[in-house]
Amino acid sequence: MSATATTEDFRVATEGGHILARRWQPPAQHSSAPAAAAPIVLLHDSLGCVELWREFPALLAQRTGRAVIAYDRAGFGQSDARSDRMPADFVARESAEAFAALRQHLAIEDFVVFGHSVGGGMAVHCAARYQGACQALITEAAQAFVEERTLEGIRQARTAFADPQERARLQRYHGQRTDWVLDAWIGTWLSPQFADFSLREVLPLVRCPTLVLHGSEDEYGSPVHPNLIAEHVSGPVQMHLMADTHHVPHRERPQQVLQLVADFLDDVP
């Protein structure tokens, strides 16, 4: 039986309360990456948390030979609960607040940042803010602006989560935070205050190598999003529009995503 990644949990103090962070270390005998290779930091989607990444972080650590770190944003998963409304600039704020606190707590210098969905927008801001430290950016199913397709998908999700069984499934991961988590996604994205959200201005500040992944059938964003990201970042870029794939490529096609990421990171320190 092959060796698996080992894990360690941390509680990190941030401006929004304490958050849970987890680090996966690749097997010691894994030699595909240099010992000092930058770790991969994962940023979850609007309903996500560490646990909802499931086995992907461990597989990513094994495949790349890099440490992988994920954390529950404030209000999500096993982080401290929140009762405030999500500010309209929450995507940009993440890089300066919780992400900065995580880097300090774990003494992370150089890093690779990998964001899924809204976490992809946060990852863009991290790469732009910390240009000297970010060795590579990976976006997966990221939204670059507020598209009607995104809003329609959210409206359909709002109807689905009115079903107590659907809400109970989410509650397994977020507990008493579930209502807040749903409003932080649905209420924020459907609010007039968020209508002007866009990554257009920050994308040119991304100068590191970038990998853009997106499903051709993504119900929360058309291919306009990955194309916009790929066109406007300043560094070298690879884009893959994955056929017959929806909003969660790392769960729908994990081996393909793992291979694309591992190949992309081969030349990244």
Digit-coded pLDDT (tens) for 213-246: 999 999 999 999 999 999 999 999 999 999 999 9
For residue 131 the two structure tokens come to 């240009």
pLDDT at 32 over 60: no
Digit-coded pLDDT (tens) for 36-46: 799 999 999 99
pLDDT at 23 over 80: yes
pLDDT at 267 over 70: yes
Query: Quick one: pLDDT at residue 62?
Result: 95
**Model's pTM, two decimal places?**
0.96
Burial of 34 (0-12, 13-18, 19+ CB in 10 A): exposed
- Closest-CA residue to 126 (of 98, 87, 106): 98
Digit-coded pLDDT (tens) for 127-172: 999 999 999 999 999 999 999 999 999 999 999 999 999 999 999 9
Which residue has better confidence, 85 or 3?
85
**Nearest 5°: phi and psi at 134?**
-80, 115
CATH architecture group of domain 6-265: 3-Layer(aba) Sandwich (3.40)
> Tokens 């659907």 sit at which residue?
166
Instruction: Give dist(CA 164, CA 13) in Å, integer.
Output: 33
Digit-coded pLDDT (tens) for 191-222: 999 999 999 999 999 999 999 999 999 999 99
